Structure formats: C-alpha cells, structure tokens
Amino acid sequence: MEQDFISPSSVQALIWKEVTPELLASAVLPRWWDVSPLELHAATLYQRTGEELLTASVKNEELRNKVVAILGSRMLPQRSRQLQRDLAAGHITEILSQTMPADVFYLALEFREKYPDQLAEVGSATQELQELSRQHPDQVSMKRLSHDFGIPHPALAQNYAPELLNFLPMPPFAGEANRFLAESWDSPNLYWARLADERGYSPVMLNHLVPELTRMMVERIFATEFEDWPALLRAMHEAADEFRAGKVQPPETISAGRP
C-alpha cells in the first residue's frame, strides 16, 4: 500500500538511500526476547558514564587527554582536535549533543578497562555501573552487550552476527560499498535502549519501539552534503524528541514469550 512506503521528509536527503535499507533491516531483527532489564540498564549506564567522563574532563586536563586519546580511535584527526579544543573551552553542552551514543559507550568501556582506579569521583552513573559490574559481571560484559545491541556487519565483518565494532565512521560510497556507512553506524540500538530504560519499559517492548523509532529516524535524515554523516545523529535526536513527547506509544502488552 502507498501509505506503507517510507520517504524522507526533506528533499535534500543526500545519504538517505545509502543507509535506509541496512538500518531498517537491522531494526526488525527479533533480537530482544532474551535481553534482561539489567542488560538494558547497563547499556544506559555505559552511555551516561561516557558523558560523565566528558563532563569531568572539562576541568581536568589529565583526564581530558585520556578521554580524547580513547575517542581518537573512533574519530578522524580533525574531529579529535576539535573535541580537544571544545573540551578545553568548556563547551560541554554542544559536545554531548554532537557525540554519538556508540562513542560515549565505547569511551566508558575503554576507560574502565584502562583506568579502573580513576573512576571513583566521575559521577553517579559511573558508580552505579561499577557496582553493577561487581554484582553481575557477565550481564554487563562487552561480549553480552555487543550481542544484545550490536548490528550485523555482512559487508564489513563478513557475517550476520550482531556485534558492536570499534572503527572510524565510514564515508558514503556508491554502489555495493554504500553498505559500509550503515554498518559502521551502531548508535541507534544503544540509544533506543536508553530511551526505553529511562521510561521504565521492559526490553521486549523494543520489538515494537525499535522498528518504529528507526522508521521515524530515517524519515528525518536531512544531509546538507554527501558526507554529512552527523545528519544521522540529528535525525535520531529528532525521533527521540517525538518519543519523549509521547508521539510513540508501545502496545499495552507484549507477550514475554517468543512469537
């Protein structure tokens, strides 16, 4: 039916067709039946911990250098240098709004592994994550969360297993290689999980929320140039704003069992 088609809300959505098929295909995978509320909350805490590390690094040069060094492995050099300048200038609000959920997730993961003795004073989410890790190490491990919230990478990793990969953002390409851009962008599932957790939803609700939020996101992709990959982040935030405004409602009940 014509009303079932998805099209961008903006005419100049230059990278829309490069990412939409992969994002939509990943969104409808029946992956959420085995995710526990604790794992859902852990995904939130990792993102909040990364944000707390960024915030704390504004007034701590030593911490700032460590944070930028970790995130530098996921950023182009120009973006990494800009992050260093913005943190030194105290532009934390702008930084948080422009940083990918997968980046703050990875920052928390790597910082905890490299500097476990420097987390005590970072923030409340960091402390909660530390306690959760002590009580339930298997459920908050990278292996478990990567399987829960990662995406398939048939072009990049040559398999369909869901996982979170650490690499630089890929530019859009023409033809078959355009799949690289969508496969390198693993923020949506982490972000949708955080939204659901903050609203107190069960993980099984993601079976409904993720396809709907992803559809809303791809409709809002508006790139001003062909390599404007932050357009994906802007579209994701716009979909989240709609969700927080109550324009996306989960069904009253979803069976806890598999369909």
Q: Does residue 155 or residue 96 have the better pLDDT?
A: 96
pLDDT bracket for residue 22 (50, 70, 90):
confident
Q: Which two tokens stand for residue 242?
A: 């709609």
Give the whole-angstrom CA distance, residue 100 versus residue 172.
17
How confident is the model at residue 174, as a pLDDT?
46
pLDDT per residue as tens digits for the range 187-235: 899 999 999 999 999 999 999 999 999 989 888 877 665 556 677 888 8
* Contact in structure between 50 and 105 (CB atoms under 8 Å): yes
Is residue 23 predicted with pLDDT exceeding 90? Answer: no
Domain holding 108, by residue range, is 42-135
Q: Quick one: 117 and 147 in the same domain?
A: no
How confident is the model at residue 211, as a pLDDT?
92
Q: Quick one: 75 and 195 in the same domain?
A: no
Give the whole-angstrom CA distance, residue 37 versus residue 79.
35
pLDDT bracket for residue 83 (50, 70, 90):
very high
Q: Quick one: 102 and 217 in the same domain?
A: no
pLDDT bracket for residue 38 (50, 70, 90):
very high
Task: Tell me which H or E stretch contains 108.
Answer: helix 101-114
Give the whole-angstrom CA distance, residue 106 versus residue 68.
12
Distances (CA, A) of 33 to 36, 52, 70, 172: 8, 30, 33, 33
Instruction: Give the residue among 150, 148, 63, 77 at the shortest CA–CA distance from 107.
Output: 63
- Does residue 46 belong to any structural domain of this protein? yes
pLDDT per residue as tens digits for the range 171-188: 554 444 444 455 556 889
**Which of these three, 93, 115, 135, is where a domain ends?**
135
Give the whole-angstrom CA distance, residue 104 versus residue 50.
4
Q: How many domains does the chain have?
A: 2
- Does residue 249 belong to any structural domain of this protein? no
